[in-house]
Amino acid sequence: MKKMIALSIAALTLAFAVPQALSAADSAAIKKNMAERKPKIEALKKAGSIGENKSGYLEAMKDAKLEDADKKLIEDENKDRKDVYTDIAKEQSSAAGKTVTVEKVAETRAKQIRSRAKEGEYIQGEDGKWVKATKPAEKKDK
Amino acid sequence: MKSFLPLLAAAAVLLGFGASACIHTESEVDVKPIEIKPVHITLDINIRIEKALDDFFGDLDAL
């Protein structure tokens, strides 16, 4: 009996410890949520309340006075981003046969975000300094 | 004709030196293999990550 309990605990631990790949449904749900959040995020960026940090996540600016709903919005967005980065890291690790870290994926995304930032939005450079983007967003040919 | 013979001999000697010089200048070039595989792999991974990110975020960025 004790052995059974121990095995069950081990199985549960493994199930939660190993990140599971996002299903197509999960991925679609995350995309939908991100699309819904985007107008509000854009407004906060335009107001200078939040910026895009060098790690691929949203971050509140020092003097920003954010409402609880805004804080929740940032948290939700960052959580979804992390799930996507984790999924891509996992996929690419198995494709490349070597470990691709979540941080590597997130930093690559941060570079993309910086290159596509709209004028006046806060972006954090690789050196950690926050600056306002000075050039218009790069349009993707897709 | 007589004056031509020494010239011919000199030319032959010079050719001989030239040929031997050619032999002596021959040297082995130690070509070491250039390891470029890891660079290719790194570039490949970076491109794949960017593509995977674009596949997911491309539509959202365009909104």
Nearest by CB to residue B45, choosing from A31, A34, A100, is: A100
B4, B5, B7, B11: CA torsion to nearest 10: 130
Q: What is the pLDDT of residue A142?
A: 40
Tens digits of per-residue pLDDT, A27-83? 999 999 999 999 999 999 999 999 999 999 999 999 888 999 999 999 999 999 999
Strand order in the sheet with A130-132: A58-60, A50-52, A122-124, A130-132
CB contact under 8 A, A34 and B45: no
What are the sequence ranges of the domains in chain B? 4-62
Nearest CA-CA partner of A71 in A79, A61, A81, A60: A60
pLDDT at residue A70, as a whole number: 96
Per-residue pLDDT tens over the stretch B2-27:
566 676 666 666 655 555 555 556 67
The H or E element containing residue A132 is strand A130-132
Backbone φ and ψ for B60, nearest 5 degrees, come out as -65, -40
pLDDT in tens, A38-47: 999 999 999 9
Q: If pLDDT is split at 50, 70 and 90, which confidence band does B37 have?
A: low
ipTM > 0.90, yes or no: no
**Per-residue pLDDT for A122 more than 70?**
yes
Domain ranges of chain A: 24-132
**Cβ(A114)–Cβ(B59) under 8 Å?**
no
User: Chain A within 8 Å of B47 (Cβ-Cβ)?
Assistant: no
Query: A78-103 burial string, b = 16+ CB within 10 Å, else e?
Result: bebbebbbbbbbbbbbeeeeeebebe
Bridge-based pairing of strands A50-52 and A122-124 is parallel
Pairing of strands A130-132, A50-52: unpaired
* Of A67, A77, A68, nearest in space to A42 by CA: A77
Judging contacts by C-beta atoms under 8 Å, the chain B residues touching residue A105 are: 49, 52-53
- Chain B positions touching A141 (Cβ under 8 A) are none
d(CA A48, CA A42): 10
Contacts of B62 in chain A (CB under 8 A): 140, 142
pLDDT tier, B32 (very low <50, low <70, confident <90, very high otherwise): confident
B4-12's contacts with Cβ under 8 Å and 24+ in sequence apart are none
Q: What's the pLDDT at A109? A: 97
Interatomic CA distance for residues A1 and A95, integer angstroms: 41
- The gap from C-alpha B54 to its chain's centroid, in whole angstroms, comes to 38
Look-up: residue for tokens 């365009």? Answer: B62
Rounded Cα distance, A109 and A64, in Å:
24
Q: Is B49 on the interface with A (CB under 8 A)?
A: yes
- Please write the tens of the pLDDT for every residue from A6-30: 655 555 454 444 456 788 889 999 9
- Closest approach of chain A CAs to the CA of B22, in angstroms? 51
